[in-house]
Amino acid sequence: MFTDAWTASARAAPGRPWGEALLRFLTGARVHISGAMTSNDRWAPLATQLRADSIRATTTAGSGHPTSSLSAADLMAVLLQDHLRADWGASTSFDEDRIIFSKGHAAPLLYAMFKAVGAISDAELLTLRKLGSRLEGHPTPRLPWVHVATGSLGQGLPAAVGMALGARLLGLELRCWVLLGDSEMAEGSVYEAFELGGYEGLARIVAIVDMNRLGQRGPTMLQWNGERYAERARAFGWNAMVIDGHDRAAIHRAYTDAEGSDRPVCIVARTKKGAGVSFVEDREGWHGKAFSSDEEAKALAELGNPAGDLVVRPPGARGRRAAPELPRGAFRAPRYEVGAKVATRQAFGDALRALGDARGDVVALDGEVGNSTFTEVFAKAHPERFFEMYIAEQQLVSAAVGMQTLGLAPFAATFAAFFTRAHDQIRMAAISRAHLGLVGSHAGVSIGEDGPSQMALEDLAMMRAVAGSTVLYPSCATTTVELTRQMAERAGITYMRTTREKTPVLYGPGERFPIGGSKVLRRSGGDVAAVLAAGITLHEALRAHERLAADGVPVRVVDLYSVKPIDAATVEACARECGGRLIVVEDHFPEGGLGDAVSEVFAGRPAPAIVRLAVRSLPGSGTPRELLDGAGIGADAIVEAVKRASRAPAQPGSP
């Protein structure tokens, strides 16, 4: 057990600072706040300035979190001055340490640190929370020294796990320092990070828990029971210690020891919220409140009215300064015979492998279902670039976000339904301006017998509503390959939905599938309606076309493989040329999916009749065929819908 090992090491080397602190903890001596804050140590001026600037910025803004910044000021002063190996300003090094404020609401402190190294001016500091300022209420990568956006708690440490995995792959020496609040230690995502970080032995992560005892509306569950947090970290394979978070000499020793650890380290720092300002220190009711001008003056006086012009010279970055050059060759697309039956999830696996062959920056992550999503094909070919995230979808997405900050091109895959588990992480990834590919398999009722818990019926709604996202839904292996290739080039969050069932290959090798495009698969001069579909329902539409043709009813069939952006021109042409009758068929709930995407094409002007065939009640188990038909999205329902629509008078459909 780690505790035993560390007890032994502490006893064997009592002179070492880490040993001392650990021994103190293990022998039950309480760590008290020492009052060292006022002692004359070399970190004191910086700590004081960070406090003063956190207060000044928030009072100028009229909102924000001064007290949550004050509790961590000593922790950050020591880190910045002596441990955080980074270059600042324009000439940032690639292989520099990362500081992640997982407690994003302490942003004023982070910005005060940026000022203290001369990366931003005092004037910019005072733009905090103003329209157009890079200094938002919570940190975002609009600032070059912020690598991931935070503000939704419990996401900084999981992102650091991704960075550390990526850094190891790339042979970088950087360390990830993560400042966490104690309130966010309630988030399960934090334990996913402890778990994977411990399992992978990511020794270059240091988690610093600012245990200030007070959450937004009152005390945390554990308050100052730092030993309990440390026990948890150890139970996940981390080294952990409890220190006085205002004793800067102790902080320095802890960081120094963390730098020598062979495992990830969790430093639990006992602090006081509002530390350094007597009228708020350790008091409830001060969360997220800026000081008034009078309170500001009083607080700054207590801090000795520091001049605020201190610029520290922190240790610069070590290691390589430029991004590693990764091999880049031609993409050799897997080829499939038209008519062969291949699941799009299988084609994704084949394509990802080929992408990995061509590009050294492509990495894959999976939620322990690689034999379902077919990332296992990539994993076999490129084991060093495959990352098993186990059944922890939040960590899956956060790790991908962390990796892309290093210039890697991550693809994260799991069942499409289970990306809902990481919805908040995906939302935040967009705020992080992340570039990543998400691939969800087993979409819709067509998965069959497993039942609704495994069926994604809301993923299109979720992913369309992600800022700047791209949403793809191929129906055929050839399409899947070409879209997978483009995903690696595409900015922002790109989502592809794949199908469990094998479906016939529709297109031959070499066919192009531009994002924002579509394919008209069946057309005639006299089409009475257009059926717009994607994925499994496109095959139903083709079956319907065949039967309608036999009945002498000509109908257009369109493959809308690009859900967002959608091919507006083709949709409009369908409306114009097919009597203003559009029939959208999707293996998804009616809200937020393909039907809504098609409707939005006509925003601002009169729209054609859009019939929406979708899954309108909660499905159960059954065969794929039974469930498609039962939901009214199979060929029978399409035939019926076309016939019904064709009896209505034709409409021009477009002004």
Task: For residue 180, state whether it binds a copy of itself (rule: CB under 8 A).
Answer: no
Cα–Cα distance, 61 to 280 (Å, whole number): 19
Token code pair at residue 630: 């039962």
Stretch that binds a copy of itself, among 168-176, 309-317, 353-361, 647-655 (CB under 8 A): 647-655
Q: Which amino acid is it at 513?
A: F
Helix (H, G, I), strand (E, B) or coil at 21: helix
Tokens 């967002």, residue located: 564
Beta-bridged to residue 471, according to DSSP, are: 495, 564
- In the complex, the smallest distance separating the C-beta of residue 584 from a copy of itself, rounded to whole angstroms, is 9
**Interaction with a copy of itself in 392-421: which residues (CB under 8 A)?**
392-395, 417-418, 420-421
Amino acid at 64: G
Q: Which is nearer to a copy of itself, 129 or 353 (CB)?
A: 129
Query: What tokens were used for 402?
Result: 């962390």
Give least dist CB 540 to a copy of itself, A: 18
To a copy of itself, the closest distance from the beta carbon of 34 in angstroms equals: 25
Please, which of residues 458-477 interact with a copy of itself by CB under 8 A?
A: 458, 461-462, 464-468
Q: How far is CA 635 from the centre of its chain?
A: 38
Q: Find the binder of a copy of itself among 11, 30, 42, 142 (CB under 8 A).
A: 142
Q: How many CB atoms lie within 10 A of CB 217?
A: 9
How far lies 293's CA from each of 126, 296, 300, in Å?
Answer: 14, 5, 10
Binding residue for a copy of itself, selected from 217, 313, 512, 647, defined by CB under 8 A: 217
Work out which of 611, 628, 638, 642 binds a copy of itself, going by CB under 8 A. 611
Q: Which residues contact 649 (CB under 8 A, 6 or more apart)?
A: none
- The token pair that represents 199 in the structure block: 């399992």
Q: Please check whether residue 553 is in contact with residue 491, taking contact to mean a CB–CB distance below 8 angstroms.
A: no
Rounded to whole angstroms, the Cα distance separating 295 from 176 reads 35
Of the pair 215, 360, the CB lying nearest a copy of itself is at: 215
Q: Does 178 interact with a copy of itself (rule: CB under 8 A)?
A: no
| Contact string 339-368 vs a copy of itself (x = CB under 8 A) | -----------------------------x
The answer to whether 231 contacts a copy of itself (rule: CB under 8 A) is: yes
Q: Whose Cβ is closer to a copy of itself: residue 7's or residue 651's?
A: 651
CB 113 within 8 A of CB 49: no
Q: From CA 580, how far away is CA 522, in angstroms rounded?
A: 17
**Sole binder of a copy of itself in the list 14, 171, 188, 526 (CB under 8 A):** 188
Q: Should residue 283 be labelled a site residue for a copy of itself when binding is judged by CB under 8 A?
A: no
- Nearer to a copy of itself by C-beta: 35 or 62? 62
Site for a copy of itself in 41-70 (CB under 8 A): 61-64
Q: Which amino acids are annotated catalytic? A: 393
Interface residues for a copy of itself in 150-169 (CB under 8 A)? 150-154
Those residues with Cβ within 8 angstroms of residue 194's Cβ, 6 or more apart along the chain or in another chain: 157, 232, 233, 236, 237, 238, 266
Span 518-577, contacts to a copy of itself by CB under 8 A: 564
Closest approach of a copy of itself to the CB of residue 225, in Å:
10
Q: Which stretch binds a copy of itself (CB under 8 A): 259-267, 472-480, 545-553, 593-601?
A: 593-601
- Per-residue binder mask for a copy of itself (CB under 8 A), 625-644, x = binder: -xx--x--------------
Q: Rounded distance, CA 478 to CA 489, Å?
A: 18
Judged by CB under 8 A, the residue of 518, 594, 612, 634 near a copy of itself is 612
Minimum distance of a copy of itself from residue 422's CB (angstroms): 8
By CB under 8 A, tell whether 647 contacts a copy of itself: no
Residues near 562 by Cβ (< 8 Å), separated by ≥ 6? 470, 471, 472, 513, 514, 515, 516, 517, 518
- Cα–Cα distance measured from residue 34 to residue 426, given in angstroms and rounded to the nearest whole number: 42
In angstroms, the CA 443 to CA 462 distance is 13
